[in-house]
């Protein structure tokens, strides 16, 4: 049975089947991305400056990667043109030219995804933020995984009822410690020397405990039915592992619920005993964000005690004073809007430890116009200290690495008890980043999916071309319509996420 209107269009609609189908599919895609764009707009306009987490300015977030986004825009536009030329080549029955154009389209898709992966890698692995307990924020880079708690462990208490304990992921890349495991008070000790041996031991005793619990519960229910006094279920589900020598544990705070100087308590019930090495975070600071700190409290922020560099502090407020003067000149006799006073223009500035960059040129301008705003709540400045601190106990950072830091890479140590939140610039960092990764990643999946379809049409399309070239031309036209939609979505995404 031949399906009608695969190649020739219907007389009433002027469309063949596949073209009608792609328009219906694109309508559903418009609703999908339309909902995400609407969520972006509503979340952004609902931000109250100075109270809610500030909505980042695209240029501040992406910086040099704005050029990558612009290049990706040109790449997608070029690929859309390539799809049209490929379709024209099929209409002209020129298979070789069709191949050249279609392969160029796929190459553009590869370039787009490579550039996007470079950008993702930078945000997820090289850009971090630390929000302190007074809501001041430091932007920069957490060095050498020091966002984890460094712990020297010697005993492990765990439950055999749950899944494989999460502490295994925090052991790092070193050798697995030699552990002596004992289940219950009367269990036979077992030596464990590898992660695979530990998992095998754990699964075996997990099954044994599960069977024993089922047996005990069955016995308990039977005794209740008999009407007599039922003996409560009593099964020892705990196990203790003792290390032959203390071993290093880099504990991820997402996996544990609490810790102290002598133990780390994981969410899965495992309790690690030993002693803490350090929980300070080693940080390379690039920006200071005071948007959530009242202007009169900014000079007394705990951030400056942590940075411990008087020239950096003076440079920040000198730049703030300079921007305030520019705003006064701009608004003339009108009052400056609260949104501007609490926004990123006045309260988000680059800082530079060591050489101090351009801020050294502004350090003497704190008493000029606008100084009243910059000085609110001010106090006597601390004397300048060396920004590079002593990192005793931080085994993850060798002394020679700290000493070899150039003036452009001076590090600071942030006490964990002063941190409210820290993380990379991933989806957890705020509503903007959640939407950014959702929308760009979803768009990236569309790019990959569309490129695979177009690649299929050029690699395996020769047979259909020889049989019915017009049929293949229609399929390429349908694929091209989807590709134009993908391009159009990015044209809206780029200015919204990267420029505004």
Residue of 161 and 51 predicted with greater confidence: 161
Average pLDDT along the chain: 82
Question: Is residue 189's pLDDT more than 90?
Answer: no
Q: What is the mean pLDDT of residues 220-244?
A: 84
What radius of gyration do the chain's Cα atoms show?
31
With cut-offs at 50, 70 and 90, classify the pLDDT of residue 364: very low
Which two three-digit tokens encode residue 245?
């020598």
Determine the pLDDT at residue 395: 40
Residue that wins the pLDDT comparison between 185 and 480 = 480
Distance CA 207, CA 331 (A): 73
Dump pLDDT digits (tens) for 92-122. 999 999 999 999 999 999 999 999 999 999 9
What number is the average pLDDT over the span 449-469? 91
What is the per-residue pLDDT for 370? Answer: 40
Question: What number of CA atoms fall less than 13 Å from residue 324's CA on the CB side?
Answer: 23
**Residue 125 reports pLDDT greater than 70:** yes
Mean pLDDT is highest, among 160-164, 172-176, 183-187, for 160-164
Whether the Cβ atoms of residue 301 and residue 345 lie closer than 8 Å to each other: no
The predicted pLDDT at position 3 comes to 61
Predicted local confidence at residue 38, as pLDDT: 93
Q: Are 357 and 287 in contact (CB under 8 A)?
A: no
Give the per-residue pLDDT at 341. 83
pLDDT band at 27 (very low <50, low <70, confident <90, very high): very high
The pLDDT confidence band at residue 48, using thresholds 50, 70 and 90, is: confident
- Residue range 73-93: mean pLDDT, rounded: 94
473-490 mean pLDDT: 93
> Predicted confidence band at 47 (pLDDT cuts at 50, 70, 90)?
confident
For the record, the structure tokens of 352 come out as 């530079």
| pLDDT in the model for residue 57 | 82
Q: Parse the chain into domains and list their residue ranges.
A: 17-127+428-499, 137-145+283-424, 149-279
Question: Residue by residue, what is the 3-state secondary structure of the chain?
Answer: CCCCCCCCCCCCCCCCHHHHHHHHHHHHHHHHHHHHHHHHHHHHHCCCCCCCCCCCCHHHHHCCHHHHHHHHHHHHHHHHHHHHHHHHHHHCCCHHHHHHHHHHHHHHHHHHHHHHHHHHHHHHHCCEEEEECCCCEEEEEECCCCCCEEEEEEEEEEECCCCCCHHHHHCCCCCCCCEEEEECCCCCCEEECCHHHHHHHHHHHHHHHHHHHHHHHHHHHHHHHCCCCCCCCCCCCEEEEEEEEEEEEEECCCCEEEECCCEEEECCCCEEEEEEEECCEEEEEEEEECCCCCHHHHHHCHHHHHHCCHHHHHHHHHHHHHHHHHHHHHHCCCCCCHHHHCCHHHHEEECCCCCCCCHHHHCCCCCCCCHHHHHCCCCCCCCCCCCCCCCCCCCCCCHHHHHCCCHHHCCEEECHHHEEEEEECCHHHCHHHHHHHHHHHHHHHHHHHHHHHHHHHHHCCHHHHHHCHHHHHHHHHHHHHHHHHHHHHHHHHHHHHHHC
The predicted pLDDT at position 110 comes to 96
pLDDT at 409: 61
> Residue 235 has what pLDDT?
83
Residue 365: pLDDT over 80: no
Residue-wise pLDDT tens digits, 292-351: 888 889 999 999 999 888 889 999 999 999 999 988 888 888 888 888 888 888 888 888
pLDDT for the residue 500: 83
The answer to whether residues 266 and 166 touch, using CB atoms and an 8 Å cutoff, is: yes
- Among 193, 153, 197, smallest CA distance to 175 is for 193
Among 202, 268, 211, which residue's Cα sits nearest to residue 235? 211
For 175: left if phi > 0, alpha if psi spans -120 to 50, otherwise beta; the answer is beta
Is the per-residue pLDDT at 28 higher than 90? yes
What's residue 388's pLDDT? 37
pLDDT of residue 88: 93
Instruction: Please say if the pLDDT value at position 381 is more than 80.
Output: no
Torsion angle defined by CA atoms of residues 266, 269, 273 and 275, in that order, rounded to the nearest 10 degrees: 20
Tell which wins on pLDDT, 375 or 141: 141
Q: How confident is the model at residue 46 (pLDDT cuts 50, 70, 90)?
A: confident
Give me the mean pLDDT over the 437-464 stretch.
Answer: 93
Q: Return d(Cα 397, Cα 342) in angstroms, integer.
A: 38
pLDDT for res 50 = 61
Q: Look up residue 223 and give its two tokens.
A: 């005794």
Q: In this predicted structure, what is the pLDDT of residue 7?
A: 66
Q: In terms of DSSP bridges, do strands 128-132 and 419-424 run parallel, antiparallel, or are they unpaired?
A: antiparallel
Is residue 444 over pLDDT 60?
yes
pLDDT at residue 362, as a whole number: 39
Name 412's bridge partners: 283
Its CATH class, for the domain covering 17-127+428-499, is mainly alpha
Neighbouring CB atoms inside 10 A of 92's CB total: 12
Percent of the chain's residues with pLDDT above 70: 84
For the ranges 165-174, 362-371, 483-492, the lowest mean pLDDT is seen at 362-371
pLDDT, one tens digit per residue, over 250-288 is: 888 888 888 888 988 988 888 999 998 888 889 989 999
Q: Indicate whether 382 pLDDT > 50.
A: no
């Amino acid at each position: 049975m031949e399906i009608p209107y695969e190649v020739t269009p219907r007389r009433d609609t002027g469309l063949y089947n596949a073209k009608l189908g792609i328009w219906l599919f694109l309508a559903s895609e418009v609703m999908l991305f339309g909902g995400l764009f609407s969520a972006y707009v509503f979340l952004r306009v609902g931000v109250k400056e100075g109270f809610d987490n500030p909505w980042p300015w695209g240029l501040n977030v992406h910086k040099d990667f704005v050029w990558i986004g612009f290049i990706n825009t040109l790449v997608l536009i070029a690929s859309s043109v390539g799809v049209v030329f490929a379709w024209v080549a099929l209409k002209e029955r020129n298979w070789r030219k069709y191949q050249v154009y279609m392969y160029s389209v796929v190459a553009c898709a590869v370039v787009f995804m490579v550039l996007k992966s470079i950008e993702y890698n930078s945000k997820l692995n090289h850009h971090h933020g630390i929000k302190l307990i007074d809501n001041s924020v430091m932007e920069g880079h957490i060095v050498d995984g020091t966002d984890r708690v460094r712990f020297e462990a010697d005993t492990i208490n765990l439950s055999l009822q749950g899944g494989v304990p999460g502490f295994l992921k925090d052991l790092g890349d070193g050798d697995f410690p030699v552990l002596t495991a004992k289940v219950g008070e009367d269990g036979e000790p077992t030596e464990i020397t590898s992660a695979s041996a530990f998992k095998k031991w754990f699964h075996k005793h997990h099954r044994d405990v599960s069977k024993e619990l089922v047996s005990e519960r069955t016995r308990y229910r039977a005794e209740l039915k008999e009407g007599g006094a039922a003996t409560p279920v009593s099964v020892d589900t705990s196990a203790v592992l003792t290390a032959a020598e203390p071993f290093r544990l880099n504990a991820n705070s997402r996996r544990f619920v609490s810790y102290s100087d002598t133990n780390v308590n994981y969410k899965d019930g495992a309790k690690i005993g030993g002693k803490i090495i350090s929980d300070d975070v080693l940080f390379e600071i690039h920006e200071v964000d005071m948007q959530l700190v009242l202007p009169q409290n900014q000079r007394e922020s705990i951030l400056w005690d942590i940075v411990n560099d008087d020239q950096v502090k003076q440079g920040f407020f000198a730049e703030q004073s300079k921007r305030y003067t520019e705003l006064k000149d701009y608004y003339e006799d009108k009052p400056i809007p609260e949104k501007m006073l609490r926004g990123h223009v006045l309260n988000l500035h680059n800082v530079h430890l060591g050489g101090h960059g351009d801020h050294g040129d502004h350090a003497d301008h704190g008493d000029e116009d606008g100084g009243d705003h910059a000085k609110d709540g001010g106090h006597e400045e601390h004397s300048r200290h060396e920004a590079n601190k002593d990192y005793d106990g931080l085994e993850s950072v060798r002394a020679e690495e700290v000493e070899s830091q150039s003036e452009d890479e001076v590090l600071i140590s942030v006490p964990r008890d002063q941190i409210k939140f820290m993380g990379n610039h991933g989806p957890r960092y705020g509503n903007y980043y959640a939407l950014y990764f959702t929308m760009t990643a979803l768009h990236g999946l569309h790019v990959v999916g569309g490129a695979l379809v177009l690649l299929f049409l050029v690699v395996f399309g020769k047979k259909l071309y020889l049989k019915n070239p017009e049929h293949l031309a229609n399929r390429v036209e349908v694929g091209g319509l989807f590709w134009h939609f993908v391009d159009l979505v990015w044209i809206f995404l780029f200015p919204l996420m990267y420029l505004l």
